[in-house]
Amino acid sequence: MNEVTEYFSDIFKGVRSLLKGMSVTGYYFLHPKEIITQQYPENRDVLKVPERFRGELVMPHTADNQHRCTGCSACQLACPNGSIIIVSDRIETPEGKKKKIIDKHVYNLAMCTFCNLCVRACPTDAIVMSNDFEHATYDRGDLIKILNQPGSKVLEGIEE
Amino acid sequence: MTTAAIDTSETKEYFINMGPQHPSTHGVLRLLLTLEGEIIKNVEPHIGYVHRAIEKMCEKSSFQQIIHLTDRLDYLSCHMNNEAVCLAVEQGLEMEVPERVKVIRTIIDELNRISSHTLWWGVMGMDMGAITSFLYGFREHEMITEIFEETCGARLTMSYNVPGGLMFDIPPHFQKMVKDFLVHFKKKLPEYDTLLSNNIIFTERTKGIGYLSKENAIAFGVTGPSARASGFACDVRKLKPYSAYHKVNFKEIIFTEGDCFARYKARIDEMWESVSIIEQLIDNIPEGDYFVKTKAVIKLPVGEYYQSVESARGEFGVYIVSDNKKNPYRVKFRSPGFANLSALNKIAQGCKIADLVAIMSTLDLVIPDIDR
């Protein structure tokens, strides 16, 4: 007799536990406002990306095409993956001195791990992490970027 | 006419490869199973499919650069891994970090632990055949990820620690975000019990399955919730308090059953403890610097440094040998996943092949942590 009641009570308890679980999923079925799924490509306009989000390394330029990079290679040394290469150039200043200036700041996005060490290492705050995270391209070559814009110059007074 | 009698008195052992591409191995782990019928006789894990030579890479990296590599070990408890390296380097530099850093590190540690355990809970449910829990687990995981995103700019591989402190200060609305999350989480955690812990199918598949004795847990070096479910008190936060753990009151979750369900319950209860730790600290973040300036090139004095922290899976240790150069001479990581995996053979012997999935889930293996 005891075994029989135990058998049926086990069935009852089992079914009850399943129904309790179902009540949770049923609750969310009836309360669609509590669902937090985001419809990603459609919600691009309202998508809020945090300010600090590390999406891509960029070099901000002023309105008259000036940047703050002196070409000191601190970021290149700080980078753990070798994704930054500074190509420098030598010019002669009006005073007749030879000076090293930046030619190209080559940034390989494909090798970057977004660790922020280059931004921390930069003594002149020339590079920052932008919030842009949509990096997909059809050509791998597009991921190698030159951060200083063509014809750009170093902002006056940065080097002192 | 005589029929060729099939000899059923003697069954032969046979082999099955589970993985490397198997959904319940959570990565590329290959298990060579020796079976007799449905009974597991032997489990031989073959690892190395995601071996990236991280320890060797560390020898070529500066001490700041090591940190981002540790993100890629156990990616679900990346902050604890970062912290272990930072604490080891700070130990070498004999540097005292500000109280503010310690408290923030502890809070993020516990948030990281909750996020790891919620994700584990979801995946555990999915291994047992319930996709619902996967989605529910990710809900809370995602909320913590958003807090991390606001705090340090990355969602998973955070690199929030640097030797000497933190990379950024906490954002102004950090406390509000965390408190809002805790209110939400305390409401939703009982749902986890309703969905899975009390579910008859789930309990039948985990209770009494995959027994790990305390002796074996110690012998194989199993740590974390997996060992505490067998009665082995091994919480590094209690035994060797680091950061701000000496300031908070929390209970070490210990079960004595040692089966899959105990390992499951240990993690669920640990989430409650994590909530209580965060609640104790969140209102008492001291003012001060979030960073102590170090030299651009860190050189540790000649010697050996070891620091262990309690990651979401167990004791994570960093052993650094320095020869006073800008790169470490040798770095060794004591990853909890590797030790926990070694006990798998002992636990699984004699179990059914279907139970192996439950056992692996409750050991909470992360393959990049095992392979390094």
List pLDDT tens digits, range B102-118: 898 899 999 999 999 99
Q: According to the model, what pLDDT value does residue B6 have?
A: 60
Residues 37-66 of A with CB under 8 A from B: 50-54
Of A21, A36, A80, the CB nearest to B199: A21
Of B167, B194, B201, the CB nearest to A24: B194
Q: According to the model, what pLDDT value does residue B167 have?
A: 86
According to DSSP, residue B283 is labeled T
> Least CA distance to A116: which residue of chain B?
B159
What is the per-residue DSSP string for B139-150? HHHHHHHHHHHH
Judge: B200–A116 Cβ closer than 8 Å, yes or no: no
**Dihedrals φ, ψ of A56, to 5°?**
-165, 145
Q: Which helix (H) or strand (E) holds A27?
A: helix A2-30
Query: Could you tell me the pLDDT band of residue A38, with boundaries at 50, 70 and 90?
Result: confident
> Least CA distance to A52: which residue of chain B?
B153
Judge: A113–B157 Cβ closer than 8 Å, yes or no: yes
What is the C-alpha to C-alpha distance for residues A80 and A72, in angstroms, rounded to an integer? 17
End-to-end CA distance of chain A: 95
Q: Residue B214: name the closest of B268, B252, B257 by CA.
A: B257
Asked if pLDDT for residue A129 goes beyond 80, the answer is yes
**Dihedrals φ, ψ of B71, to 5°?**
-55, -35
Judge: A80–B61 Cβ closer than 8 Å, yes or no: yes
Q: Give the bridge partners for B43, in sequence order.
A: B33
List pLDDT tens digits, range B308-347: 998 888 889 999 998 888 888 989 998 888 888 888 888 8
Nearest Cα of chain B lies from the Cα of A64 at a distance, in angstroms, of: 30
List pLDDT tens digits, range B73-93: 888 888 999 989 999 988 888
Nearest Cα of chain B lies from the Cα of A116 at a distance, in angstroms, of: 8
Q: Mean pLDDT, to the nearest integer, of A113-132?
A: 87
Q: Give the bridge partners for B42, in sequence order.
A: B34
Nearest Cα of chain B lies from the Cα of A92 at a distance, in angstroms, of: 31
Q: What is the dihedral of CA B89, B92, B97, B99, to 10 degrees?
A: 100
Q: What is the dihedral of CA A68, A69, A72, A78, to 10 degrees?
A: 100
Residue pair B52/B371 in contact (Cβ under 8 Å)? The answer is yes
What is the C-alpha to C-alpha distance for residues B154 and B146, in angstroms, rounded to an integer? 9
Asked if pLDDT for residue A10 goes beyond 80, the answer is yes
Q: According to the model, what pLDDT value does residue A27 have?
A: 87
Percent pLDDT > 70 in chain B is 97
Token reading at B71: 């993100």
Q: According to the model, what pLDDT value does residue B210 have?
A: 84
Asked if pLDDT for residue A31 goes beyond 60, the answer is yes
Q: Which of A40, A52, A111, A129 to mutate to test the interface with B (most CBs of B within 10 A)?
A: A52
What is the C-alpha to C-alpha distance for residues B218 and B210, in angstroms, rounded to an integer? 16
Q: According to the model, what pLDDT value does residue B337 have?
A: 87
Q: According to the model, what pLDDT value does residue A116 have?
A: 87
> Least CA distance to B293: which residue of chain A?
A120
Q: According to the model, what pLDDT value does residue B125 have?
A: 85
Residue type (1 letter), A149: Q
**Dihedrals φ, ψ of B207, to 5°?**
-70, 130
Percent pLDDT > 90 in chain B is 5
Residue pair A76/A112 in contact (Cβ under 8 Å)? The answer is no
Q: According to the model, what pLDDT value does residue A160 have?
A: 61
Query: Could you tell me the pLDDT band of residue B206, with boundaries at 50, 70 and 90?
Result: confident
Chain A residue numbers touching B64 (CB-CB < 8 A) = 78, 117
Average pLDDT over all residues of chain B: 86
List pLDDT tens digits, range B1-32: 555 556 666 667 888 888 787 777 777 888 88
Strands A66-67 and A153-154: parallel
User: Residue B321 contacts by C-beta under 8 Å, 6 or more apart in sequence?
Assistant: B303, B304, B328, B329, B330, B331
Asked if the C-beta of A110 comes within 8 angstroms of chain B's C-beta atoms, the answer is no
Asked if pLDDT for residue B69 goes beyond 80, the answer is yes
Token reading at B183: 């209110």
Query: Could you tell me the pLDDT band of residue A138, with boundaries at 50, 70 and 90?
Result: very high
Chain A residue numbers touching B69 (CB-CB < 8 A) = 80
Residue whose token pair is 């408190």: B179
Q: According to the model, what pLDDT value does residue B136 have?
A: 87
Q: According to the model, what pLDDT value does residue B2 have?
A: 54
Of B68, B153, B167, the CB nearest to A113: B68
Per DSSP, helices labelled H in chain B are 54-60, 63-70, 78-93, 99-127, 131-152, 174-192, 200-206, 214-219, 225-228, 236-239, 260-282, 336-342, 344-348, 353-363, 367-371
Q: Interhelix angle for B353-363 vs B260-282, to 10°?
A: 20
Q: Mean pLDDT, to the nearest integer, of A65-84?
A: 85
Q: CATH for A56-154, among 1.10.3720.10, 3.40.50.300, 3.30.70.3270, 3.40.720.10?
A: 3.30.70.3270
Q: Mean pLDDT, to the nearest integer, of B124-133?
A: 84
Q: Mean pLDDT, to the nearest integer, of A64-69?
A: 84
Judge: A54–B154 Cβ closer than 8 Å, yes or no: yes
Judge: A115–B199 Cβ closer than 8 Å, yes or no: no
ipTM: 0.83
Asked if pLDDT for residue B200 goes beyond 80, the answer is yes
Asked if pLDDT for residue A82 goes beyond 80, the answer is yes
Asked if pLDDT for residue A109 goes beyond 80, the answer is yes
Q: Mean pLDDT, to the nearest integer, of A10-16?
A: 87
Domain parsing of chain A, residue ranges: 2-34, 56-154
List pLDDT tens digits, range B221-246: 899 888 888 888 888 888 888 888 88
Q: According to the model, what pLDDT value does residue A123 have?
A: 86
Q: Residue B371: name the closest of B73, B80, B120 by CA.
A: B73
Asked if pLDDT for residue B352 goes beyond 80, the answer is yes
Residue with the larger pLDDT of the pair B22 and B270: B270
Of A24, A116, A121, the CB nearest to B167: A116
Asked if the C-beta of A115 comes within 8 angstroms of chain B's C-beta atoms, the answer is yes
Asked if the C-beta of A129 comes within 8 angstroms of chain B's C-beta atoms, the answer is yes
